[in-house]
Structure formats: structure tokens, C-alpha cells
Structure 1
Amino acid sequence: MTGPEYGDTWVYESIVGALPGIDLRESEAVALQFVVFEVGIVLLAFLYDLWTAALAGTAAVAVAAAGSVAMRRLGTGTRKLGAPEPYRRLLFGSSIEVVLAVLAFIALVTHLFVFDPQESALPLLSSLFGPEPPVLVVYLTLLVLWDLCYRIGTSWWAAVVSLWRGWRYDFDAETARGYRRLDAMNVLFAVGQAVLLPFLLDQPVLLLAVGGHIVAVTVVSGAAMVLTRPN
């Protein structure tokens, strides 16, 4: 059986699908992703005695893994529903989710390394890793944060495009139900990101950003569900 055409998938799906000799089921791929990151977090926490930071890292890895599940199911579900070509092209082919992820990641790095140290007596990185964060810890942290930003960017883009889909197209009852289920899954993933909020209570900018994203995706996807009615 042939897989989906590249350009009709998320960038994440294209990369995983292009790996030679590797054909993992969804559960296997997500489990591997979680285990690899979590082993790195636990190992570095042990080496540098950073167990408090490890808890935050585990939450971030768990959200990223949940995002991988959501992305795969949103992608597979959209293709199975035989989505209109303009919708598929906008959702997948534009790769806008990568652009949003890059923008979010740059903003996050700027906040962590420039804004927060200038504005806070105890910056977030210092509170987690100490005044001189180990290089390997920072490297893994940025890798996890990029993974997280990519999933969050994808969730936001899926919500925006689903709103346009609901306004632009009419579907039969079964197809409309399928799209509403996908929108509900995106909302579920967004709400799941609330596990990050307890770690950001002393970081008003990040708290507002993550909380605002959760609310925005919920509202936009909810509106898409309302608009996606059978013809």
C-alpha cells in the first residue's frame, strides 16, 4: 500500500515517512519519541542534579508526544475524508505550520535569553538550571522546546484553516461529523497543554502566551465545528 503523497502531509509526517527502512506504527513512533527525550532528561538530571527542571521537561515532552498523536490523526483523518484540494493544499502544502513554529521558537528564545534576564531578578533558566546552565542541558532544552513549538504551531494552523474550511465548504452529514471530530481532537490537544501552566506561574509573559494559545485554539476550532454543518 502506498502512503500519502508528500505535499499532502505535515512536514513531520514527510520526514518520518522518508526515513529508509523504518516503518513505525503511530504508537511505536510516539513511544520512541517520548522515551528518547525522557531518557535524555533523566540522565542529565542525574548528572547535574536538576530534578526540579526534569519535572518541567517531562511535562513538555509529554505535551510534544501528545502533539505527535494529534498531528498524525489530524493528517490521516483529513486525507481519509477526501478533503477538497484547496483545503489540503492550504493545510499541508503551504507548510505554514513550520513558519509559525519558527516564529514561536525565535520569540521564545529571545524571551529566555534576552527579555527575561533583563526584566527578572531570577530568570527562568537560572531558576531551573542554576546561574551557569550546563551546555548539554541547554541543548536538550532547546531541542524539546523546538519540538513543542512545532506541535503548537501546527495546532494553531489547523485551527485557522478549519475555520476557513467551515466557512467555505458544505459537506454531507457523515463528512461533517468527521471534520468536527478532528476539530475536537485539536481542542483536546490544546487543552492538554494546560499541564505546562503550573511551571509558568512566575512567568507572566509565557503564562499569557501559552494560556492565550489554548483559549484561541479552543475558540477558533469551536467556531469551525459550529460552521461545519451538513448541507
Structure 2
Amino acid sequence: MTDGRGDDTPASAPPEPATAGGVYGETWVYESIVGAIPGIDISDRLAVVVQFLLFEAGVLVLAAVYDLPGAILPGTLAVLVAAAGSAFMLDIGKRARGPGVPPTYRRLLFASSIEVVLGVLSFVLLMTYLFVWDPRDGATLFASLLGEQPPVVPSALALLVLWDVCYRIGTGWWAAVVGLWRSLTRDLSPEAADRLAGVDVRTLGFGVLQAVLLPFLWGHPVLVAAVAGHVVAVVVVTTVSLYVLRN
């Protein structure tokens, strides 16, 4: 059977093997990692809460031990953005795997793992800025948060949280782009369109949430432009996708 635009999933095709995150090959890499941890079977909500509490405890404890009070608020907001990204990803994943959703959209969204590629690219560019470009301008962002000689353990945690944020940013951008492609090219039932509109709304909401990082990047115009540009791009792309779905 087809939707008239290239989705060809035989009606009699046997179901694919299931995993903790849904159908094999149709999960975020984040979901696959969580589902692959042996002996752990917790709800999505609890997984997000545990993620936030563990990282936030690390921020607070290390800030106290190494006397880094200026790192608490930006660190907490970065942890919040990462945890919120996990929540949005899990919700988007459930909606995108719902009935009536075009298989080609699901495969492109999940199985390509392009969100990881975008996350890695974002992280590499951020590291290049922090440790190559930024030091040329005097006081660096890293030094303003962790001191002129950043201690090893807080630095490691900061880089881990930054990777988490970059991965979520890559995921948000990929969800927005694929969502627009789906809205423009796929034939959707009213029920599927409503469900996928929920995906776009959540993608847009997560993009806007990332703007909370901007005040801590002030004075670093390259980072401000990158984050603000990403937020604006996600808002524009998902808004167009929503308009197409609803009209």
C-alpha cells in the first residue's frame, strides 16, 4: 500500500522486532542507549528526572568543593535544557511512531541518526570556539565560569553537559527540517496531521527554550549569533510546517 508519494509498506509485512524505545531502527540514539542499559527499566519521566538530578547534583557539589559560585546558575540552566531536551525527544518519539505516520518520515527522523552527526558538528565547532578562537580575545567564556586555571573535574562535567546540550540542539534542528519536509511532501490523514502538529509544537517549544542560554553568552557575539540563529531558524521552519499541516 502507498500514500501516493512513495511510502510503500506492504500490508502483510511482518512486524519488526521491538526494543525498549519502540520499533528497531525507529528510535533516537538517546532512547537506544537508555534502553540498552542492562537491569534498568524505568519510566520515561523518571529517566528524565534522574538525569536532571544527577547532573544538577554534580554542578552543586563541584561548585561548592571548588568554590565556583558563578558556575551554578549557567550550569543549572544548561542541565535544565539538556533534561528538557530528553523529555521533548521522548514525547516527540512516541508521537512520531503513532498510527498513520508515514514510514518514510519515521525512518528519516530516527534511523538516519543524523541528529548525532549534527550534535557532533555543533560540539566540535563549540570546542573550536572555546579553546582556539575565544582565547585570542582575552577573557574566555570557560575562564569566566571556571577560573583562569579551570580545575579538571568541573571542566570534565562542563564538557559533558555541553555535549548533551549540543546533541539536543542537533536533534531539534533535524526534527524541524524533517518535519517541514514531511508537511510539504506527505499525504496525511486528519488524525495523523493532528498528531504530527503536536511534534512540531514540541520541536518549536524546545527551540525557544534554548534561548535561556543567551544571557550567559553575552559578550561572545559568535556564540550569541549561533544560538540565536538556531532558535530563530527552528521557530521559522516549524511554524511553516505547522501552517502547512493546518491549511
Where does residue 6 of structure 2 map in the other structure? Answer: none
Alignment RMSD, CA only? 1.3
Aligned match for 1:205, one of 208, 219, 222? 222
Structure with a larger share of its residues in helix? 1
Aligned match for 1:165, one of 157, 160, 182? 182
Is 1:141 matched with 2:158?
Answer: yes
Partners of 2:173 and 2:185 lie apart in 1 by: 19
Where does residue 196 of structure 1 map in the other structure? Answer: 213
Structure possessing the higher radius of gyration over alpha carbons: 2
Where does residue 168 of structure 2 map in the other structure? Answer: 151
TM-score (norm 2): 0.90
- Amino acid in the other structure paired with 2:241: A
Q: After the TM superposition, which residues 112-123 of structure 1 pair with which residues of structure 2 at under 5 Å, given as runs?
A: 112-118=130-136, 120-123=137-140
Is 1:41 matched with 2:62?
Answer: no
Where does residue 146 of structure 2 map in the other structure? Answer: 129
Deviation of residue 156 (structure 1)? 0.3
Partners of 2:26 and 2:141 lie apart in 1 by: 39
Deviation of residue 2 (structure 1)? 6.3
Q: Secondary structure at the match of 1:54?
A: helix
Change (3 A) 1:164 1:44: same
TM-score (norm 1): 0.96
1:23-59 residue CA offsets vs partner (Å, 9 max, x unmatched): 1112210110001101111111001111111211100
1:88-147 residue CA offsets vs partner (Å, 9 max, x unmatched): 1110000000000000000000100010001x2211111111110001111001000001
- Amino acid in the other structure paired with 1:206: L
- Amino acid in the other structure paired with 2:209: G
Deviation of residue 82 (structure 1)? 3.7
Q: Secondary structure at the match of 2:56?
A: helix
Q: After the TM superposition, which residues 8-157 of structure 1 pair with which residues of structure 2 at under 5 Å, given as runs?
A: 8-118=26-136, 120-157=137-174
Q: Percent identity?
A: 55
- Amino acid in the other structure paired with 1:224: S
Aligned pair count reads 229
Change (3 A) 1:38 1:110: same
Q: List gaps (5 residues or longer) in structure 2.
A: 1-17
Q: List gaps (5 residues or longer) in structure 1.
A: none
Contact 1:170 1:229 in 2 (8 A): no
- Amino acid in the other structure paired with 1:175: A
Contact 2:180 2:241 in 1 (8 A): yes
Partners of 2:197 and 2:238 lie apart in 1 by: 9
- Amino acid in the other structure paired with 1:76: K
Deviation of residue 85 (structure 1)? 1.6
| TM superposition outliers: structure 1 runs of 4+ over 4 Å | none
